[in-house]
Each structure stands twice: as structure tokens, then as C-alpha cells.
Amino acid sequence: MSTPMIVAHEVQKYYGGFHALKGVNLEVEAGAVTCIVGPSGSGKSTFLRCINQLESIDGGAIWVGGELLGYRRRGDQLIELSDGEIARQRLAGGMVFQRFNLFAHMTALQNIMEGPVVVQKRRRAEVKEEALALLARVGLAGKADAYPSELSGGQQQRVAIARALAMRPKLMLFDEPTSALDPELVGEVLAVMKDLAKSGMTMIVVTHELGFAREVSNRVVFMDGGQVIEAGTPGEVLARPQHRRTQEFIAAILA
């Protein structure tokens, strides 16, 4: 069997006295779409941020593409990586947040080009060609010269997705990407994500959109209280949940 794209083993995270992640275990196969659902404060976003090393973990381990995050092994010792090495590892995952975080003084095209040119030191002409193709891919071919203030929330989030893809990540991490959008704009962002899933991109999506999880994901994970309570296929977790807490959550969402 091939090595999973992501392996999380007994991941622990504390914020002072608050135990945010309590031994999270998860494997994500390359090319799979995993949706993480659960109530607010259950640790979903914290776990995603740990995968992208925006938060450091306090116990356990995470591997991405077979590489241990944050450390290197030297004999029986674990040596903490430098900030530069962690930044290199972070490039493996593209992250899309609830808020779009676009540079207000840059056009859509400039926002997408900034990372590949400045961070990856790639040729501007090559990056521009790829950025224009990405804008077309997310349905914004005519918006290259538009500033964020001239775009709707849904359009800004699609630019944010294109910006993450421009870094050529191995996987994409989505932290409730539609939660800040007006209801009528949610569908256009989910459509881009569905297309991305069909392309074979490995994706972890923290979401309350159970319809999206049911239609697109290979695996659904329900978290509560900093733990994975239940995991399985969409049919198992969303249609026939076994754990009482999962049943209560889904009933409340669908009510």
C-alpha cells in the first residue's frame, strides 16, 4: 500500500490550561477528500492549523508526504527544525481561510502572483501565465485587473483558492471557506472546490456544509471536545452515525 499523504498520531495541543486537541489520530490518502465536521470549539480549525504548522503541537506527531513536520530524527533524538525549514515544509499545503486575506492594494492577478514570485523565486512571465490560467479555472478570467474591493465575497474567496494553488501544493486545506459568505455566494465557491476534488487534489475541508461533504468527500470525520469521535464514509457518518454525539450534531444541523 502507498504511504498516506497525511498521518496524524496522538496529536496534542494546549492553550494554557485549555486542552484543545486530545490525542487526534487521522490518516488521509493521496487524492482523497476528507471533510471534518463538528460543533464550534471542537478543535477542527486548530487541527488544520497544526497540519500547516501555523500552530505548533505539544505532543504526538504529524507526517505530510512521509516527512515528519517540525522535527528531524537524529539517532534516537528529535531535533527541532529551523524557521526556514518549517517554512519550506509549510509550502506543501495550500491553505484557504474563512476570511479571504487578500492584499487590498493588489489586483486579483497580483495577489495570485505574489507568493510564487517572491517566495518561490519563479520567473514572473511563467507565473503570470499560470495565474491567468488559475483565474480562468475558478471562473474569474475577466477579473485579473480587479481589486478585492471590486469583487464579491465569493469572488474574493475564489481568488484566494487560486492564490493557494499557484504555490503548487501537494494538498489543500480549507478552514470553513464558505462561513463568511452570504448564502447566495456559497454555491460558486463549493463548485470550484468540487472541480478541484475531481482533479485528484488531496483535500481536508473543515465545513458545516453537510451536502458538500456527502457529495464530494471520501471520508467524513466528526470531532468534538478536541477528539475524533467518529470517522468513516459519508454514508456511514452522515446517514448512519453510530455515536450519540454525532447523531445529535447532525440532527441539529438538519433541523
pLDDT at 73: 82
pLDDT at 78: 83
Number of H helices, E strands in the chain: 9, 12
Q: Per-residue pLDDT averaged across 174-182, rounded? A: 92
What count of Cα atoms within 13 Å lies in the side-chain half-sphere of residue 169? Answer: 29
pTM of the model: 0.93
Which set of grid coordinates corresponds to residue 118? 517572491
pLDDT per residue as tens digits for the range 72-91: 888 888 889 999 999 999 99
Q: Which whole-number Å values give the CA distances from 221 to 125, 139, 146, 240, in the listed order?
A: 41, 30, 38, 13
Sign for the pseudo-dihedral over CA of 242, 10, 54, 137:
negative
Strands in 103-225 per DSSP E: 171-175, 202-206, 219-224
Would you place residue 2 in the very low, low, confident or very high pLDDT band (cuts 50, 70, 90)? low
pLDDT per residue as tens digits for the range 216-244: 999 999 999 999 999 999 999 999 999 99
Task: Please check the confidence at residue 1 and state whether its pLDDT lies above 60.
Answer: no
The mean of the pLDDT values for the chain is 94
Would you place residue 131 in the very low, low, confident or very high pLDDT band (cuts 50, 70, 90)? very high
pLDDT cut 70: percent of the chain above it: 99
| Rounded CA separation 211/234 (Å) | 10
